[in-house]
């Protein structure tokens, strides 16, 4: 992706002074690199992409084209997967609350539902009773100690009576196919990944049950600029480090066994984090009581990063630049804390372009309709600019209100 004054000028003429740039080539490369790194250690491996991290349809289509799974946590995300052409048997539905009607349609069509609670167990029991001629693919979300200092709220405590009940149901009900164990632990640090993998192996060993798949969830750091890495207190692992920490456990455990289940992870940020940039425009520069501020057409809400300075580049667009010290680049909103970049030192001018990288995770999907509609999403990897999402307008946000 080449970005310079000429490119920004052309994009501004067509799409306005703020927009996202999606890098589909980088996304494809990340997916393949992560998948192949794990496969070198444990060949029967695949990726279930976390839609919630960034559900841009083009990203979801690429996953499907490359043979990955769709990991969804709501009926909205399920609909996205179906609309981009994912077959139900390639969709995994997690999440603590599932719409019963949609879940029934999904399971009857061949999708995989991972049971998260006692209440959900009752729902799927009723579905199984209503469809005795259909084989339902069901898994169990598992919760156990990984020593990350968090009591996770997701899944069944594997030492509980509830876990025994759900296990008995999925393993003894004639029209239920017990397809996988799944877990979700949020911390991305590498030191918790062996515990995550070993917890699954110990569970399987204790029960004497090997499902078709073992899904150890997401929570991986992705690729990022050195300036961003330096702001973390812990080291940022690469794909190889995660594979050694987790896939190695399964490779060793199943080495002497005839059955080698498919191993899945559910990454989001690890594949999409560095695949979007946000381009804003400097609209004002002023000094208030000795402090310099540049107001950007753009907001912290557009990049979903707080407490850190994101990777940022200034593209001079022809105005007379001046040198600034400790200047804050702030957003268009009325929130004092809407700061995109703290204490910038360097040259800047009115109408310069501000390019913020590594904003592919949770930015676009978490931007609220606050003060302004959201900006266009463009892919400039090819010969022509591809409009991935047009800029939002008033009616996009307000057609559901009664005026």
Domains within the chain, CATH numbers bracketed: 5-21+275-398 (2.40.37.10), 25-272 (3.20.20.10)
As a dihedral over the C-alpha atoms of residue 54, residue 59, residue 60, residue 63, rounded to 10 degrees, the angle is -120
**What six digits make up the tokens of 138?**
């069901």
63, two tokens? 């996953």
Under DSSP, the state recorded for 53 is: G
Q: Give the burial string for 69-92 (b: 16+ CB within 10 Å, else e).
A: bbbbbbbebbebbbebebebebbb
Query: What is the CA 393 to chain-centroid distance, rounded?
Result: 26
**Alpha-carbon distance 289 to 293, whole Å?**
11
Instruction: Give dist(CA 199, CA 72) in Å, integer.
Output: 23
Closest CA to 211 of 251, 177, 168: 177
Rounded Cα–Cα distance for residues 306 and 256 (Å): 47
Question: Which pTM does this prediction carry?
Answer: 0.96
Lookup: tokens for 184: 């979700």
Structure tokens of 94?
A: 């997690």
Produce one character per residue of 220-256: b if its CB has 16 or more CB atoms within 10 Å, e if not: bbbbbeeebeeeeeeebbbbebbbbbbbebbbebbee
Question: Rounded to whole angstroms, how far apart are CA atoms 149 and 165?
Answer: 27
Other Cβ atoms less than 10 A from the Cβ of 33: the count is 15
pLDDT truncated to tens, each residue of the chain (403 aa)?
Answer: 789 999 999 999 999 999 999 999 999 999 999 999 999 999 999 999 999 999 999 999 999 999 999 999 999 999 999 999 999 999 999 999 999 999 999 999 999 999 999 999 999 999 999 999 999 999 999 999 999 999 999 999 999 999 999 999 999 999 999 999 999 998 999 999 999 999 999 999 999 999 999 999 999 999 999 999 999 988 999 999 999 999 999 999 999 999 999 999 999 999 999 999 999 999 999 999 999 999 999 999 999 888 899 999 999 999 999 999 999 999 999 999 999 999 999 999 999 999 999 999 999 999 999 999 999 999 999 889 999 999 999 999 999 999 9
């Amino acid at each position: 992706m080449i970005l310079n004054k000429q490119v920004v000028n052309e994009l501004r003429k067509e799409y306005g002074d703020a927009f996202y740039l999606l890098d589909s080539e980088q996304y494809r490369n990340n997916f393949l690199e992560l998948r192949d790194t794990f496969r070198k250690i444990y060949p029967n491996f695949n990726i279930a992409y976390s839609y919630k991290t960034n559900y841009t349809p083009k990203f979801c289509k690429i996953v499907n084209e490359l043979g990955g799974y769709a990991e969804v946590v709501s009926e909205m995300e399920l609909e996205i997967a179906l609309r981009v052409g994912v077959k139900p048997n390639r969709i995994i539905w997690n999440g603590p609350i599932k719409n019963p009607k949609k879940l029934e349609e999904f399971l009857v069509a061949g999708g995989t539902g991972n049971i998260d609670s006692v209440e959900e167990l009752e729902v799927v029991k009723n579905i199984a009773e209503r469809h005795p001629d259909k084989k339902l693919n069901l898994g169990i979300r598992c919760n156990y100690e990984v020593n990350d200092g968090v009591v996770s709220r997701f899944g069944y405590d594997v030492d509980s009576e509830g876990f025994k009940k759900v296990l008995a149901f999925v393993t003894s009900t004639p029209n239920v196919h017990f397809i996988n164990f799944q877990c979700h632990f949020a911390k991305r640090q590498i030191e918790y990944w062996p515990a995550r993998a070993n917890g699954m192996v110990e569970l399987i060993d204790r029960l004497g049950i090997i499902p078709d798949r073992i899904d150890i969830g997401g929570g991986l750091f992705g690729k990022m600029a050195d300036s961003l890495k330096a702001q973390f207190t812990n080291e940022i692992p690469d794909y190889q480090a995660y594979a050694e920490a987790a896939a190695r456990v399964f490779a060793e455990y199943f080495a002497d066994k005839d059955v080698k289940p498919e191993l899945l992870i559910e990454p989001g940020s690890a594949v999409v984090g560095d695949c979007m940039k946000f381009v804003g425009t400097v609209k004002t520069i002023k000094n208030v009581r000795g402090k310099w501020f540049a107001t950007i057409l753009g907001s912290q809400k557009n990049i979903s990063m707080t407490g850190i300075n994101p990777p940022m580049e200034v593209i001079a667009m022809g105005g007379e630049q001046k040198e600034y010290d400790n200047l804050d680049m702030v957003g268009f909103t009325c929130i004092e804390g809407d700061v995109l970049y703290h204490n910038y030192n360097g040259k800047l001018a009115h109408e310069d372009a501000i390019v913020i990288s590594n904003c592919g995770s949770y930015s676009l999907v978490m931007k609220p309709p606050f003060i302004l509609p959201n900006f266009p999403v463009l892919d400039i990897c090819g010969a022509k600019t591809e409009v991935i999402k047009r800029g939002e307008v008033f009616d996009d946000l307000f057609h559901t209100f009664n005026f």
